Amino acid sequence: MKTRYIYPILLVTLLLASCKQDKTDIIEPRFIASDRPYATLYSIDEETGVVSVADSLLRGSKVEVIVNAKYKSNKIVYLPLKARKGPKRYAMLPNLSTDSLALVLEKQLYVRTPASVLADTASSAIAGQVEKGRQVSIVGYDKLQADGTVHRYKIQVSDTLGYVYSKYLVPTQEEALSRYMPEKYDSLHLAIKNRFGAGKAIDCDFFPRPKPEFKDNRMPESCYSLYINFSPANLSKIDEYIELAKQTKINTFVIDIKDNECPGFRSEAMLKYSPTNYNRSTKNGEKLYKRAVSRLHEEGFYVVARITCFKDSYFVKDNPECAITEIETGEPFKHNKSFWPSAFNRRVWEFNVELAKEAIRKFGFNEINFDYVRFPDRMTKIEDRIDYHNCYGETKVQAIQRFVQYACDEIHELGAYVSIDVFGECANPGYTTAYGQYWPALSNIADVMCGMPYPDHFPDGFYGIKKPWNHPYEILSAWGQRVQARQKATPTPAKVRTWVQAYHVMRHVDPNGIDYNAENIEKEIRGLFDAGLTGGYTTWLSSSNINKYREQAPAFCIDYYAETMQQ
């Protein structure tokens, strides 16, 4: 009799257990996915079923969801998030991913700022260029940042596949085609004349570029800098330069790592892109640089590496297809006793940036200073005889700005700053320079603008100053005032750290020109600071002769910034 009651009892027990299990929450981990940096969270009224926007959560956040408590409304499925306290929140099912690498839901975006497409994330190799307003397909990304934004999108456009920094892409074409504060800036740049054919100022990009601050790499508020060339004779006596600097206010050193036909050390970038530069560099250069930069850092100095970009005869020898050439012969064009890689050519961009990154990694430079970031000067009368090999149809001012943009993006990744050398002429109002340097366009992107207003480079009577090379204070003060006007024409201006003449007036300019001794160098620097250019100075003395620097040392003992701030 007892046996026949066992089966019904077991059945009831199983049913009760089943019912109890259905009421138990099934919790599983998920990641917030979205087509923007955050995903919307919702509240649901249990009585009316009304769904309301309640909150948001950063893309990439890890959450726990109750997977057996789905709620469906208007064909949309919501899942509740497990919460320790507070009201219950729901996320839409597409915003909950089981794959931590599949969190970016954007399918297409538009190019707001023309940008280089990087071939991969391991190097600075360039796969192509995307222009303003272009639609691109999103096929991946490298990583999410702390604020939920993508670092670099992997994009596909026509036959180009690669990575673009997210800051240059926007959701709509209307936003992509817009200009930054046109009511303020467009009239300024439209007024600039293209008298030398280098391009219209208005065709450059002026969206703000906030200047970085790196926690472990602090740039002095004002850099008082000595220049040292690549010579092993100079690098080997770095302790003498340090001893001199410590007796003054010098806090920065600028050291060559590649000048035209003067490569400093045998770098991997040279071996890959320019074997001649590699073979002509100093065999023990790496050892010299390591010791020099290490000693400078030990003593608390900020250290800058100088690289000459688009004047490089050795690079042209190895890469003649990248050179500016003569149309008639097809041979590389020699200008000012040197061959020039075309600033339109991306291979030369890659070379200089890869060299810069290698110098940062190997030696720990705080900043990269790029010189000859321009096309050759004095070319207006022979432009019809020259082929620049302009493969992307850019103007000169666009190409130079875009190189600086690419260089800053790549070098900032390593926590180092970028400064750009420009001719003093760039301070002149009213036109874009013939060689492609337009001050507001470059200052908007670079961290530091390093003008080269050497007094003996100004013609007699310039700014109304007779023999300006004999009036260092007056000429640099007048120049500095014009720089300030250029700085106001850009949303995010760079610091200004100026090269000052530390050599005797050149004989062909004036055999009776003054000697640039301590007194006259001080006048130059005071002219700059009195004009409001307080970012500092760098001495241009090509020989880097330490005895000459010792003679000039009284000019380096003054804290010009502190004096200016006290006024």
Cα 257–366–457 angle (5° rounding)? 60
Residues 120 and 90 in one domain: no
| Residue 163 domain-assigned (yes or no) | yes
Residue 14's pLDDT band, with cuts at 50, 70 and 90, is very low
Is the domain of 363 the same as that of 446? yes
Q: Are residues 492 and 361 in the same domain?
A: yes
Spell out where 158-265 has E strands.
160-165, 169-170, 223-228, 252-259, 262-263
**Residue 122 forms part of a structural domain:** yes
- CATH code, domain with 63: 2.30.30
What one-character DSSP code corresponds to residue 494? P
**45 lies in the same domain as 122:** no
Contact status, residue 315 vs residue 341, Cβ threshold 8 Å: yes
Domain annotation covers residue 387: no
Residues 367, 243, single domain; the answer is: yes
Residue 23's pLDDT is 64
Tokens of 396: 């000169």
pLDDT at 36 over 70: yes
Of the chain, the percentage scoring pLDDT greater than 90 comes to: 94
Domain for residue 519, yes or no? Answer: yes
Is there a single domain that holds both residue 61 and residue 126?
Answer: no
Contact 277, 351 (CB under 8 A): no
End residue of a domain, out of 37, 64, 97: 97
CATH number at residue 118: 2.30.30.40
Q: Are residues 471 and 502 in the same domain?
A: yes
Query: Distance between CA atoms of 212 and 286, rounded to whole angstroms?
Result: 29
Structure tokens at 259: 């000048």
- Domain at 206, CATH number: 3.20.20.70
pLDDT, tens digit (0-9, with 9 covering 90-100), for 432-489: 999 999 999 999 999 999 999 999 999 999 999 999 999 999 999 999 999 999 999 9
- pTM exceeds 0.85, yes or no: yes
pLDDT at residue 22, rounded to an integer = 52
Spatial contact of 124 and 412, defined as CB atoms under 8 Å apart: no
Domain end among 178, 193, 210: 178
Boundaries of domain holding 539: 201-259+279-306+351-372+415-421+429-566
- Any domain includes 231: yes
- Partners of 156 in beta bridges: 137, 161
In a domain, 322, yes or no: no
Q: Are residues 470 and 545 in the same domain?
A: yes
> Do 174 and 248 belong together in one domain?
no
Residue 326 belongs to a domain:
no
Residues 88-111: pLDDT tens digits? 999 999 999 999 999 999 999 999
Give CA–CA dist 250/299, Å, rounded: 12
| Domain count of the fold of the chain | 3
Whether residues 149 and 296 share a domain: the answer is no
Q: Are residues 158 and 237 in the same domain?
A: no
- Cα-Cα-Cα-Cα dihedral sign, residues 414, 62, 155, 122: positive
The answer to whether residues 232 and 358 belong to one domain is yes
Q: Which residues contact 291 (CB under 8 A, 6 or more apart)?
A: 238
| Helix/strand/coil (H/E/C) assignment for every residue in 390-440 | CCCCCCHHHHHHHHHHHHHHHHHCCCCEEEEEEEHHHHCCCECCCCCCCHH
Query: From edge to edge, which strands make up the β-sheet containing 71-73?
Result: 51-58, 38-44, 90-92, 76-80, 71-73
d(CA 395, CA 393): 7
The whole-angstrom separation of Cα 124 and Cα 162 is 11
Percent of residues, the chain, with pLDDT higher than 70: 96
